[in-house]
């Protein structure tokens, strides 16, 4: 192994919808964390691992930084804090179109107390005029960042440039993970996220936030995977919404999820979904633990 090999952890922090998952997926070339137009879809700390001949970067995709309205949100804050503590570089991402929001300011204050290299990405510059972009870059340069980079992660991202920038701040270390590992998350967890993404994409208002998914069984057979999962709701009245007329909503969730599992694994998936009620699970510590948020 090269004695100059670099390896380390990068925590991606930013307001919901700024492009954190887009960045992760771009780097990984795979759809590891869920992307959807609705905020707050990433509740778990998801790792993606990038490895080449000279470096290994382990990305921590953090949940949002939220006012503690529910018990769940306290957990999110803790995850965020833990991700930052465990990282070598803090990668702050913001939306050029919206920066600076109150949320950005709060987050900047929050990360200021961590003495680690900090990089800011001013994302979505495709949405603003050059003069606006320059103003916002100036604002960011006034904060305590080691580097500020304007990008458009969706339009024409300079991935190599970004990886080289991160490389400059990575410590010398042997790799933490075997190079062919894309993620250390078990497939069960991916499936859980895939189903949850379908719920976020297909339902509005309170439903996505009142829903949790647990994978109960996962059988990896030679020619297919057989999965059974529970969809947990808070109230009986939410059940018919998820099921839909003649079961068409639940069928759509199942079929789309099966297709997505196939896309990732290149293996046929047979998914069984069960709807369960756990009254007010978001406010209960026990339930949060059971669903893996604690
Ligand atoms: P996250 O909540 O921070 O993880 O944000 P996502 O990665 O899920 O992105 C939120 C939305 O912004 C998605 O609809 C993305 O397609 C979009 N988006 C991400 N990067 C860009 C960009 O550079 N330009 C534009 N116009 N949209 C972007
Ligand atoms: Mg996300």
The helix or strand, by DSSP H or E, that contains position 270, with its residue range, turns out to be strand 268-277
On whether the pTM is more than 0.85, the answer is no
Of residues 136 and 66, more confidently modeled: 136
237 burial (CB, 10 Å; 0-12 / 13-18 / 19+) is: exposed
User: What is the model's pLDDT at position 173?
Assistant: 93
pLDDT band at 285 (very low <50, low <70, confident <90, very high): low
> Out of 78-82, 160-164, 166-170, 238-242, which region has the weakest mean confidence (pLDDT)?
78-82
Distance 36 CA to ligand 2 centre (A): 8
Distance 287 CA to ligand 2 centre (A): 23
pLDDT band at 210 (very low <50, low <70, confident <90, very high): confident
Hey, where are the domains in the chain?
6-169, 187-290
Q: Looking at ligand 1, which atom is closest to the CA of residue 153?
A: 23
Distance, in Å, from the CA atom of 202 to the CA atom of 132, rounded to the nearest integer, reads: 35
Mean of pLDDT over the chain? 82
Report the topology of domain 187-290: GMP Synthetase; Chain A, domain 3 (3.30.300)
Q: Output the residue whose Cα is nearest ligand 1's atom 13.
A: 37
CA distances from 162 to 11, 134, 181, 224 (A): 14, 19, 21, 38
Any ligand 1 atom below 6 A from CB of 155: yes
CA distances from 37 to 18, 82, 89, 197 (A): 10, 26, 27, 10
Any ligand 1 atom below 6 A from CB of 158: no
Any ligand 1 atom below 6 A from CB of 6: no
pLDDT of 137 strictly over 60: yes
CATH number of 6-169: 3.40.50.300
CA–CA–CA angle 49, 35, 131 (5° rounding): 95
The alpha helices in 100-211, defined as continuous H runs, are: 102-112, 130-141, 159-169, 187-202
6-169 and 187-290 have identical folds: no
Q: Looking at ligand 1, which atom is closest to the CA of residue 33?
A: 4
In the predicted model, what is the mean pLDDT of residues 5-13? 92
- From 15, 17, 19, the mutation candidate for ligand 1 (largest count of ligand atoms within 8 A of CB) is 19
- Residues 20 and 14: beta-carbon distance below 8 Å: yes
């Amino acid at each position: 192994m090269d004695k100059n090999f670099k390896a380390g952890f990068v925590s991606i922090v930013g307001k919901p919808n700024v492009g954190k998952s887009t960045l992760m997926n771009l780097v990984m070339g795979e759809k590891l964390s869920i992307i959807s137009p609705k905020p707050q879809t990433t509740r778990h700390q998801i790792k993606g691992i990038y490895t080449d001949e000279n470096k290994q970067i382990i990305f921590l995709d953090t949940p949002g930084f939220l006012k503690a309205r529910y018990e769940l949100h306290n957990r999110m804050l803790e995850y965020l804090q833990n991700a930052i503590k465990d990282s070598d570089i803090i990668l702050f991402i913001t939306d050029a179109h919206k920066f600076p929001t109150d949320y950005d300011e709060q987050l900047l204050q929050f990360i200021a107390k961590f003495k680690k290299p900090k990089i800011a990405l001013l994302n979505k510059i495709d949405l603003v005029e050059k003069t606006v972009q320059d103003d916002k870059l100036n604002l960011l340069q006034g904060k305590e960042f080691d580097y500020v980079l304007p990008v458009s992660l969706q339009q024409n991202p300079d991935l190599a440039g970004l990886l080289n920038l991160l490389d400059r701040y990575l410590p010398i270390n042997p790799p933490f993970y075997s190079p062919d590992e894309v993620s250390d998350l078990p497939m069960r967890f991916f499936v859980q996220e895939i189903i949850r993404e379908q719920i976020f994409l297909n339902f509005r208002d309170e439903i996505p936030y009142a829903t949790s998914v647990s994978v109960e069984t996962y059988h990896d057979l030679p020619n297919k995977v057989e999965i059974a999962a529970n969809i947990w709701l808070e109230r009986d009245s939410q059940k018919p919404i998820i099921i839909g007329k003649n079961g068409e909503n639940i069928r759509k969730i199942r079929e789309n999820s099966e297709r997505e599992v196939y896309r990732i694994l290149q293996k046929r998936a047979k998914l069984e979904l069960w709807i369960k009620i756990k009254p007010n699970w978001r406010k209960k510590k026990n339930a949060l633990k059971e669903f893996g948020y604690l």
